[in-house]
């Protein structure tokens, strides 16, 4: 039988784990003392086990444990000495702090995509653009305080809200905060450390005048929609060009944002109100921004890029199993969600490296291939670069000449 160059000495899961340096995990262990009083099932073993569960879309502890037992011969290549028992994994999910996995995710993002710089004044719009939004994941019970209407039993189902800040350049979450679903969206704004010269876009639910004023003082441009009940005063109207009028711009006005009655508590600030009419949807939109120099159509285009983060939410929810959780406590749910974000980041790294060599793969196809061949000894990058050559030289030349013992 011919020998294929696509097979390697490490399974696909080990190749994905190679993107996570051991020093990064050790630093997180040291930071949170997550291996204290642990004899066998350490933080790294816990991380590998949960990534195995997430990438395989496991919905129960039994699926995880039996799945790892079925491929026990490959555990050494995964850096594991033995498969954990269900009780061991359940205890680890409930006791080991989820902050360990949170730091692993953020440090892994910094390692492969670079940390957020202090200043971005000379970059293009896409390189300076940050998108802020949140998504809610409904749980099976009222573990965490949920949001929305009450059920038939008079209780709300629990829910987790992921507050995410993503860079438009990378299409991956750069900063994430997990909270209960009832937490307001503005919860994340004062936690963001945006660089000077950056542009941040968010929905109208993020109404925090103090934070908007602070960003203006830091030379950070922000773009959002005008929400109902916003108090402002029009002070001037800017002339429109023919291109702006033809593109759907109805008005470009200078406003003073804020309530004069509460000026002592929240200072007033200058802003810009742009009215845009969408001819296709026959709707009128109003955008407010502190940027006084960009063209009005550019401001509208920046807000349109906000929908990029909705595709990120859809990708994560459709690619991974987020309907059933392998724990009924708050810490276990957070651990699984952080490992889901780590798995998505690892697959995104694979996609970006393939794009550099001219191989175009969608995230859904990469996710499916990894899930089906998670423990297969195949060179993932080589296979994805040239999948049509994977079976060349792998046919048995004697198979066609094999004689049958009995006629059929």
Tokens at residue 198, please? 């950056």
> What six digits make up the tokens of 122?
């000379």
Low-confidence ranges of the chain (pLDDT < 50): 1-2
Q: Count CA atoms closer than 13 A to 348's CA, side-chain side.
A: 21
Helices 363-372 and 330-356 sit at what angle, rounded to 10 degrees?
A: 110
Q: How confident is the model at residue 1, as a pLDDT?
A: 41
Decide if 374 contacts 11 (C-beta within 8 A): yes
pLDDT of residue 315: 93
d(CA 179, CA 86): 27
Structure tokens at 124: 């293009």
Among residues 362, 350, 340, the alpha carbon closest in space to that of 162 is found at 340
Q: What is the pLDDT of residues 92-117, one digit of tens each?
A: 999 999 999 999 999 999 999 987 77
pLDDT at 397: 53
Is residue 71 a contact partner of residue 8, using CB atoms and an 8 Å limit?
no
- What is the reported pLDDT for 149? 52
| pLDDT at site 8 | 74
């Amino acid at each position: 039988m011919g020998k294929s160059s696509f097979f390697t000495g490490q399974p696909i899961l080990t190749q994905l784990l190679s993107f996570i340096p051991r020093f990064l995990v050790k630093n997180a262990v040291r930071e949170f003392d997550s291996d204290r009083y642990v004899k066998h099932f350490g933080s790294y073993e816990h991380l590998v086990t949960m990534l195995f569960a997430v990438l395989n879309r496991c919905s129960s502890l039994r699926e995880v444990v039996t799945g790892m037992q079925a491929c026990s011969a490959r555990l050494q290549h995964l850096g594991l000495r033995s498969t954990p028992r269900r009780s061991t994994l359940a205890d680890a999910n409930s006791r080991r702090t989820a902050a360990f996995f949170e730091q692993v995710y953020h440090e892994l993002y910094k390692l492969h995509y670079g940390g957020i710089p202090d200043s971005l004044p000379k970059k293009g719009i896409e390189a300076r653009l940050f998108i802020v939004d949140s998504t809610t994941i409904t749980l099976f019970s009222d573990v965490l305080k949920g949001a929305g209407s009450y059920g038939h039993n008079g209780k709300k189902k629990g829910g987790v809200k992921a507050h995410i800040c993503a860079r438009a350049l990378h299409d991956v979450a750069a900063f994430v905060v997990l909270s209960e679903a009832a937490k307001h969206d503005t919860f994340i704004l004062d936690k963001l450390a945006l660089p000077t010269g950056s542009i941040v876009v968010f929905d109208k639910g993020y109404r925090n005048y103090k934070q908007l004023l602070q960003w203006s003082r830091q030379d950070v441009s922000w773009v959002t929609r005008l929400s109902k009940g916003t108090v402002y005063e029009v002070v001037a109207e800017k002339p429109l060009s023919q291109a702006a009028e033809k593109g759907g711009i109805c008005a470009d006005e200078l406003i003073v944002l804020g309530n004069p009655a509460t000026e002592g508590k929240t200072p007033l600030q200058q802003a810009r109100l742009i009215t845009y009419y969408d001819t296709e949807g026959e709707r009128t939109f109003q955008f407010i921004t502190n940027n006084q120099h960009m063209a009005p159509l550019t401001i509208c285009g920046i807000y349109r890029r906000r929908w990029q983060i909705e595709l990120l939410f859809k990708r994560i929810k459709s690619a991974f199993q987020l309907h059933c959780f392998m724990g009924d406590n708050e810490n276990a749910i957070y651990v699984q969600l952080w490992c889901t974000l780590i798995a998505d980041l690892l697959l995104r790294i694979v996609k970006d490296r393939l794009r550099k060599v001219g191989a175009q793969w969608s995230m859904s196809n990469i996710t499916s291939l990894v899930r089906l061949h998670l423990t297969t000894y195949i060179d993932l990058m080589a296979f994805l670069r040239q999948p049509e050559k994977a079976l060349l030289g792998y046919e048995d030349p004697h198979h066609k000449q094999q004689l049958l013992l009995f006629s059929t």
